[in-house]
Amino acid sequence: MLRVRLSENFRAVFYAPFYATHALGFYASEGVAVDLLDSPTPGAASAGLHDGSIDLAWGGPMRVMKAHDLDAASPLVCFCEVVARDPFFLVGGLEPSRFRLADLPTLRVATVSEVPTPWLCLQHDLREQNIDPERIKRPADGSMDDHLKALGRGELDVVQLFEPYAALALRSSAGNILYAASSRGPTTYTTFLATRDGIAKKRAAFAAIVRATHRTLAWVAEHSAEELAQAVRSFYPDVPPDILTISLQRYREAGLWAHTSEVSRQGFGRLAESLKSGGFTSRMHSYEDCVEQSLSVADC
């Protein structure tokens, strides 16, 4: 059996299809054994891929674009899209029907500090509505858990969260969902990451992983949130089972997960625009430079 050392980015509910592939036995049935390894930080995978301590990781294509921004000859590439839309929400105590993004500069707002992509994507949404993101006074630190508690105490008006924090906010009446970033449309959020040399060495194993993931995406589309929650529950021991199901249902209704493992050109382009808009990258990076197209499901 082929073997792959796969680093998970961090444990998040929106990554449920990655865990479902393990739980449903699709890797094994495709002839690959996957060792799931913790990542010390969300951005640590790139170094591990380069030094050979891991074979594969999942994470944002933003890591690939940043690598190519720093070094045009970077060997880092992405393939096999899983999370096809932005999984973050703006949550607050305002009336959702009256809320507009243009209100944010007048409110006490906390955005995600753990990773950069949520704010980079949101600020581009703001610029498209002629709202200057610099007008929003945001805390420079604080976790999503900290922000949710501050929202409940009335110290913040709006916070940026992913699930299960959004579901917990609603349950505790701390706030309502004011804006779902998924509503902007395709934004390629999570794929597999590898180096070109790593792909050359592990092509058969990576092809098996693409096939297994494609099967998972089809399974997720055909099964309920309750069934998905049951499949992945062991990966989320700290999330109450009912909150996990509610969270997965909200993501399912939002069309968060890809229906095919192909990396969306539209979603990739939207992410690239957001990164450049926010100054994270200095230029638009091309699909052809950043996406390994030979590992499409049709070729695997």
8-24 pLDDT, tens digit each: 878 899 999 999 999 99
Distance between CA 157 and CA 94 in Å, rounded? 8
Residue range 25-53: mean pLDDT, rounded:
86
Q: How far apart are CA 68 and CA 71, in angstroms?
A: 5
Distance, CA of 300 to CA of 199 (rounded, Å) = 13
Q: Is the pLDDT of residue 117 over 90?
A: yes
Rg of the chain in Å (alpha carbons): 19
The model's pLDDT over 250-270, given as tens digits with 9 standing for 90+, comes to 999 999 999 999 999 999 999
Angle at 169 between CA 167 and CA 173, to 5 degrees: 120
CA within 13 Å, CB half, 258: 27
Work out the pLDDT band at 42, boundaries 50, 70, 90: low
- Cα gap 76→268, rounded to integer Å: 15
Quote the DSSP letter at residue 98.
G
What SS3 class is residue 83?
A: strand
Q: Give me the chain's average pLDDT, please.
A: 95
Other CB atoms within a 10 A radius of the CB of residue 116 amount to: 18
pTM over 0.85: yes
In this prediction, residue 39 carries a pLDDT of 73
Neighbours of 49 (CB within 10 A): 24
pLDDT band per the 50, 70, 90 thresholds, residue 31: very high
The per-residue pLDDT for 9 is: 79
Structure tokens at 168: 């917990």
Q: What is the pLDDT of residues 49-90, one digit of tens each?
A: 888 899 999 999 999 999 999 999 999 999 999 999 999 999
**pLDDT tens sequence across 179-203:** 999 999 999 999 999 999 999 999 9
Closest CA to 39 of 67, 8, 62: 8
Stretch 158-177: mean pLDDT? 97
Closest CA to 20 of 244, 300, 219, 294: 219
Q: Widest CA span of the chain, in angstroms?
A: 58
At 299 the pLDDT is: 66
Indicate the burial class of 233 (C-beta count within 10 angstroms; 0-12, 13-18, 19 or more).
middle
pLDDT band at 298 (very low <50, low <70, confident <90, very high): low
Q: Is 80 exceeded by the pLDDT of residue 45?
A: no
> Residue 273 — very low, low, confident or very high, per pLDDT cuts 50/70/90?
very high
Contact present, 159 and 109 (Cβ < 8 Å)? yes
- Which domains can be identified in the chain, with CATH numbers? 2-85+186-289 (3.40.190.10), 89-184 (3.40.190.10)
Q: Could you tell me the two tokens for 29?
A: 């049935």
Looking at the predicted structure, is the pLDDT value of residue 44 above 80? Answer: no
Q: What is the pLDDT of residue 107?
A: 97
